[in-house]
Structure 1
Amino acid sequence: MEKELIATFNKVNLPDRKIMAVLSYIRGDVTPYNKKHISSEKTKINKATSDNDMQQVYDWFSKKQAEDLMFFYKFSIDENNKVKNIFWSNGTSRRYYEEFGDCISFDTTYNTNKYSLKFAPIVGITGHGDNYLFGCAFIMDETTETFEWLFQTMLTCMGGKHPKTIITDQDLAMKAAIRNVLPDTIHRNCFFHIVKKAQEKGGRIFSLERNKNLHDDLFDILRNSLTETEFEYLYKKLPQTYDVGGFRYLDDMWLNRENFVPCYFKKHFFPFINSTARSEGTNALFKLDVTPRYNRKESSRTGL
């Protein structure tokens, strides 16, 4: 009976310590086992179902599609007929994309399950400024080919509507895929990550006495320049004012300026955002419920 209870608790992803607490209560606080025994039993249960977990995912998606005629899913398989990538979106998310899908945030920094698949949520912003999940994907790798499959699948799901703008990190494979599949979409890099890298790489330069105001001046120029002309004039003056010899990342930011500096995007639709924080906030919510121990079925059920 207790093994059946553990199996039931495992289905709803109850943590080991809570399972232990329930079973201890049932036994009157006298139990001949501990959390390690619970974990071992769950491992046996998961192993018994791991061989057919993709069939379970398929069955789960089929069930959702029967309940929601607009539920969409697609699998990508390799030459050995093994699943590489999964994408899905429900009817409500598709309707929201139709209305609010002009700007999306895309990030793949969270591993959600024991297969080390990358979680790729497609996040948008509603008319009230709230996050909204337009779709989810698990991808095997971060190659241009995989991203192209994902974006093309997204377009198929969303009736061919291209987002006007997209914000991501500086991943080169992602950049190439966006250029190939979404050629008319304005692609912007995350301001926060680029600035953070500048702070990390410029620590020694910023600490020089002569450069005591460099940090504030640099980030004021990056954030608050009102026009491209103003930004370029002030940025070029930095070497004349400060000792920035050896700070090569300044050159990198200059070459990449049109991809992340806010003044270059004043004519484009990026509501309330200049970073991928919307995606990272979405990841943080999933981390509360989806752990690396999950299989694909459990992760998919939690995703949307």
Structure 2
Amino acid sequence: MEENSSVSEHILKMSGLHGRLTSLGVELPDNKTTSFKKGKGKKNFKKDGKAVAAPGKPDAGKKKKNGPKPETECFYCKRLGHIGVKRMKKLHTDGLLESLDFESFDTCEPCLMGKMTKTPFSGIMERATDLLEIIHTDVCGPMNVEARGGIRLGKIPDQREPKRGRVCSLEKAMRNYVDRKSGQVVAPEIGREFDSLAEAFEFYNLYSWEIGFDIRYGQSRTNAQKSITVQDIVCGCAGRPKKENTKSVACNCQALIRLHRTNDNGWYIHDFRSEYNHHLASSCGEKLHWPSHRNIDTHNKDIVKHLRSNNIGLTKVFCVIGSFFGSMENVPFNKRSLNYMCKRMNQEAADDDIRKTVELFSELKKNDPMFADSVLVDSDSKIQALMWTNGKSRYQYRMFGDAITFDTTYRTNQYDMPFGLFVGVNHHFQSIILGGVMMRNEKEETFNWAFKEFVSLMGGKAPVTILTGVFCARMTSTQRSESANYMLKNFVHAGASMHMFVKHYQKLQFDRDSEENFAKKKSRLAGTVLKTGLPMERHAGKV
């Protein structure tokens, strides 16, 4: 750059535009010039005719001061490209930057403006599948507005509020069928509304029953608040089999109804497809084997639950249900469905069985202060044996505990554990239940523990005889144990869990107490019948 030349002139000359503009008669401004002289290790600059010191060099005769001048507080920050105080301190530590007075630095506003970032959006992003289905911005997040079809993008209730005078879809369909008098009773159509997904599923399920196919829930779409906005209910044969040469019923059937949300949090049919590519069931018995048509309603579930809890067999339960409907053909489900439901009930009862058993023992102790139990555990804290008895049995043992029998022939429970029953005989020649023990094995040490704990629970009094031969009460020990085994089978159903076994054992105990009370009443009110008439017999009859 030439001395005493204009800065703008120099720039134009460098770009080749100065000559062209001059030839066109354009007057170029010449109000700012810069001059400089070369010296030894020193450069003097002149700006607009005034001498300017080199950047970073203090004037001669003045004391050196660390940091920028007051009129240029952000000089070093600008010089280094707003790298920040931390990085300038690191450069100073590395010896690349002269000593600075960092504490005198003011806040650099360009640094703050340049480093500002937007607040991150923590919501869940989704790709829209319909026009204006999802509207969101990175600043505001998801907007709780209505899109096309009445879809709300915020939290949506699962069903809409009931309204007086609103007619349900099933009633509308039946009224329409009366007017048509042809076709299906339940016919899906686009625009039909429902209060909930469950109502829509039941409606479409009735239609599938008439046609002869199965349905299930398909794909769904949710918004940013995890509320379902679109739900497909598809044919049971939808999809493709995972591998070839399989028994899968999946054949890529396209039949479905697609549900969207209404403005009042309900549902309506947005799309309906009725094309099937598989065989349709024709008979009632064939339709009952589809999964969606073998559901058992709540009323029948309660009946089955009570019957099964009282040790009623599966076949008898199905016959009882059939008597309610008039005949077996009118039962709305099959025996296979009933069997599956009973297995699921047993599985639910077996969940957390030990905790339920402990809670049941606590309840029995609260109702009967004389109730006692004992547990044998192994080195891994697993239960090996469980024994219990109640106050009535302990009292009867003091009266009739001289001769008892013990047998473990009964083992019909969920864990296939032998159940030992201590049985005695009262003065009415009736079997009395003195206690029970459930064991995981029939080893010698387990039996030793069972006998010792039984004596301990009975107050420390050991029986005089544990009979294995002829029983004094007109019955052998085998007959006595078989009788107890028969009584247990009447009350405890096969596959019972541990806590359910204890509950059914209490029913057996109540049954035996009831029989004893009847014998007491009869012996006290009725006269004693003497067989021989001997004085000893007459004396015994008065005692």
TM-score, structure 2 length as denominator?
A: 0.36
What is the correspondence of 1:149-298 to structure 2 with a 5 Å cutoff? 149-168=449-468, 190=469, 270-298=472-500
> Matches of 1:109 and 1:4 in 2, distance apart?
33
1:76–1:84 contact (8 Å) kept in structure 2: yes
Instruction: Output one character per residue of 1:59-86: Cα deviation in whole Å (capped at 9) or x when no partner.
Output: 2222111111111112222222222211
Alpha carbons of 1:8 and 1:126: their partners in 2 closer, same or farther (altered >3 Å)? closer
Number of matched pairs: 206
Structure 1: distance between partners of 2:384 and 2:477: 29
Q: What letter corresponds to residue 93 of structure 1 in structure 2?
A: S
Aligned residue for 2:386, secondary structure, equals strand
Structure 1: distance between partners of 2:353 and 2:502:
11
Report the Cα distance in structure 2 between the residues aligned to 1:8 and 1:130, rounded to whole angstroms: 29
Question: Is 1:302 paired with 2:504?
Answer: yes
1:112 and 1:22 mapped to 2: Cα distance?
Answer: 24
Gaps of 5+ in 2: 1-297, 510-543
Work out whether residues 86 and 138 of structure 1, in 8 Å CA contact, stay in contact via their aligned partners in 2.
yes
How far is 1:58 from its partner? 1.7
Corresponding position of 1:121: 421
Contact residue 112 and residue 299 of structure 1 kept, 8 A: no
- Offset, 1:9: 3.7
Q: Deviations over 1:226-247 (max 9, x none)?
A: xxxxxxxxxxxxxxxxxxxxxx
Distance 1:155 1:13 in 2: 32
Partners of 2:348 and 2:403 in 1: CA distance: 42
1:127–1:46 Cα change, 3 Å? same
Residue 11 of structure 2 is aligned to residue 11 of structure 1: no
Q: Distance in 1 between matches of 2:388 and 2:452?
A: 13
Q: Which amino acid aligns with 1:162?
A: A
2:434 aligned with 1:134, yes or no? Answer: yes
The equivalent of 1:106 in structure 2 is: 406
In structure 1, C-alpha distance between the alignment counterparts of 2:347 and 2:305, rounded to whole Å: 12
For normalisation by structure 1, the TM-score amounts to 0.62
2:342 pairs with 33, 42, 45, which one? Answer: 42
| 1:157–1:23 CA distance, 2 compared to 1 (3 A) | same
Alpha-carbon shift at residue 42 of structure 1 (Å): 1.0
Of structures 1 and 2, the one with the larger relative CO (CA 8 A, separation 6+) is 1
Larger Rg: 2
**Partner residue, 2:318:** 20
Cα 1:11–1:270 change in 2 (3 A) is closer
Corresponding position of 2:361? 61
- 121-130 or 98-107, which deviates more: 121-130
Alpha carbons 2:310, 2:492 under 8 Å: kept = no
* 1:69-84 equivalent positions in 2, closer than 5 A: 69-84=369-384
- Percentage of matched positions with identical amino acids: 31
Two-structure CA RMSD over aligned residues (Å):
2.2
Displacement after TM superposition at 1:277 (Å): 1.8
Give the SS at the match of 2:408. coil
Preserved CA contact (<8 Å) 1:165 1:270? no
The answer on whether the counterparts of 2:349 and 2:497 sit within 8 Å (CA) in structure 1 is no
Contact kept? 1:167, 1:276, Cα under 8 Å: no
